[in-house]
Amino acid sequence: MRKLKLFALPYILWMVVFTVLPMFLIVYYAFTNAPGNSAPTLEHFFKAIDPMYMKILLRSIWIAFLCTALCLLLGYPVAFLLARARNGAVWSLFFILPMWMNFLLRTYAWMSILENTGILNSLFVAMGLGQMELLYNENAVILGMVYNFLPFMILPIYTNLQKQDVSLLEAAQDLGCNGWRVFTRVTLPLSMPGVVSGITMVFMPAVTTFAISRLLSGGKFMLFGDIIEQQYLSTGNWNVGSMLSLIMLAIILLSMGLMGRFGSDTKDGGGML
């Protein structure tokens, strides 16, 4: 037992230095003023709940919701086909390989595709459809999010579907269920833990992202992550930036709690009736 504790020391040290200590600093800056004045204050909280910031926060939540919904609509059928395919593990590599490339490089690639002289616009012009404004707008941001986060939806659902007991599907068919009823009464309820995991893994980074919105919108379409980055790097107001970060952290924890509770309700096919 003592040896096991020794093996855990590097992990504990890592968590303290790179997780606990930064969180302590964020809380400290959020509820104090300039260095040298450590008296607690709520001044930065009232600045953080400025209507402009709250409007951008609601926009970020809405965009993250759209991204998650699109990833689910696209990812579930793909995961289902991969789980039923003979070489599904091989085909799944096509969704894993792009994740080996740097996140920013993938986003820059979409900039070259969507720009006025990019591949898509060149194709549209050749087809006589004319040039379209595909970059630097809300649709470009959503497209970039869906592209970058779609694998995080597919892989948990695929793993869950692949592990399902085939005998349950066969039993449902023997009892007279057609393909659609087998899917809605057996496959879908049993796959809900994978769906919940995928939703969590997509919504969390989508609601906090700032690189995608900054690159694909050209700074014209700001999300809450952009505001936090701006407070830290541009204006140098770490106090307000820390308070905004705590608000975002509270939303993330609340979302994780709700999804975790929903996932526990559907675990082991609890939703199957």
Q: Examine the pLDDT at 265 and tell me if it is beyond 70.
A: no
User: Tokens representing 18?
Assistant: 């790179």
pLDDT tens-digit map of 154-169: 999 999 999 888 888 8
270 pLDDT tier (thresholds 50, 70, 90): very low
Q: Which residue has the higher pLDDT, 174 or 235?
A: 235
Residue 148 has pLDDT above 90, yes or no: yes
Supply the DSSP string of 42-54, one letter for each residue: -HHHHHHT-HHHH
d(Cα 97, Cα 197) in Å, to the nearest integer? 21
* pTM for the structure as a whole: 0.86
3.40.50.970, 3.30.413.10, 3.40.50.720, 1.10.3720.10: which CATH number matches 58-269?
Answer: 1.10.3720.10
CB of 205 within 8 A of CB of 220?
no
If you average pLDDT over residues 200-206, what whole number do you get? 93
Q: Give the model confidence (pLDDT) of 43-100 as tens digits.
A: 899 999 999 999 999 999 999 999 999 999 999 999 999 998 888 888 888 888 888 8
pLDDT score of 273: 37
Q: At what angle do helices 192-208 and 51-84 cross, to 10 degrees?
A: 140
pLDDT of residue 227: 93
C-alpha–C-alpha distance, residues 246 and 45, integer Å: 10
DSSP 268: G
